[in-house]
Amino acid sequence: MTQDAAIGIHDLSFATTEFVLNHTTLAEHDGTDIGKYHRGIGQQSMSVPAADEDIVTMAVAAAAPITARHGTDQIRTVLFATETSIDQSKAAGIYVHSLLGLPSSARVVELKQACYGGTAALQLAIGLVRRDPTQRVLVIASDVSKYELDSPGEPTQGAAAVAMLVAADPALLRIEDPSGLYTADVMDFWRPNYRSTALVDGHESITAYLQALEGSWKDYTEQGGRPLGDFAAFCYHQPFTKMAYKAHCHLLNVCGQDTDPDEIARVLELTTAYNTVLGNSYTASMYIALASLLDHADDLTDRAVGFVSYGSGSVAEIFGGTVVPGYRKHLRTAGHREAIDRRRPLDIARYRELHERSFPTDGGVHPVPRQTGGPARLLALDHHKRLYESR
């Protein structure tokens, strides 16, 4: 295998939570015009974890179909991206490794840089496969987006996990060189260790996103990347789906092109179908946009797709990929739609109860009520140890 041989996403699967809060329910509670949610931020609903769900259980639900299809023998690395980690030391992926029955001859690492972490994991996986094309890397991005009740960020919450199998000769998408990169020290969004919810400066975050987009696009073109017109679609990180539209309009302005609404809709609309009902899933968001595009587009064979990954604080990366012939035979469209449709709607009281639920810190034994119907659940916190069980 040469340095130029194809490496990319061989399989892709996502999962979400047991419950959903519709934005109409939230709007009725807080007295907001529903248009502010449906049109203003582009959100219809948001996934809410059950008491026994977290980033690990969602990751297992996302990855299990991949290991069932492809087996586990060639997976020697698991890269777990998250910004809602459950432990300051132990990687969440180790629980996933155990629950999926992966071989002991594997490395497991957790990665963090806000919502950019999933792309960092993907690019590291490509490097590992390039070094040894016989290996496959399981990349997982899993997050629960959570803000304080009655805060401006509350309607942009959500939760989901994406699992991707990165391999040589991929069946879905070849990842291309080069990448455009950008880093700047910005306090637009952060979560100190002593807080369970994030802090965000909404205006600053939008500004930082657009500056990072502009900077990474400049670097991408300087590195010899594709011209803007080559791309059939763009998958943006979507903290709320209207942000993708703001970002692409900004990119068109930077490139001196017309901001034709029909053209913007053509390259973005199919990427937002899932995120508009899942809400923000942080590291998973851009790859759920990819799943949405592949599941809804008529045919993207040999077409180029652009990726704009942004993580507050901030790091951004732009890169391209080409859709592989025959990719539609490998899609998980039915499973993705079932994951969304099976969610049970919450009333406002139950949602707020789940939102405020937390474990005591006394080191005792604290069982968790059974609520999820997923393949794995959080069983208990026992002397500060998280215990999981599979169905």
Give the active site residues.
83, 115, 237
Cα 318 from Cα 311, distance rounded (Å): 12
Measure the CA dihedral 285/287/288/290, to 10°.
130
- Residue keyed to tokens 């490998």: 330
Q: Give 218-267 as a DSSP string.
A: HHHHHTTPPPGGGEEEEEE--SSHHHHHHHHHHHHHHTT----HHHHHHH
Which DSSP symbol is given to 44?
S
Which DSSP symbol is given to 279?
B
Cα 111 from Cα 296, distance rounded (Å): 30
124, 179, 351 from 226: Cα distances, Å: 22, 10, 45
- Residues β-bridged to residue 159: 144
CA 90 to chain centre: 21
121, 152, 294 from 203: Cα distances, Å: 28, 11, 32
30, 235, 265, 335 from 17: Cα distances, Å: 24, 23, 28, 14
Q: Are 183 and 155 in contact (CB under 8 A)?
A: no
- Buried b or exposed e, range 197-210, using 16+ CB within 10 angstroms: bbebeeeebbebbb
- Classify burial at 146, counting beta carbons within 10 Å of its beta carbon; exposed 0-12, middle 13-18, buried 19 or more: buried
Task: Provide the residue type at 72 as one letter.
Answer: T
- Residue keyed to tokens 């053209």: 263
Smallest Cα–Cα separation from 96: which of 137, 63, 53? Answer: 63
Task: Provide the residue type at 163 as one letter.
Answer: A
Q: Are 314 and 80 in contact (CB under 8 A)?
A: no
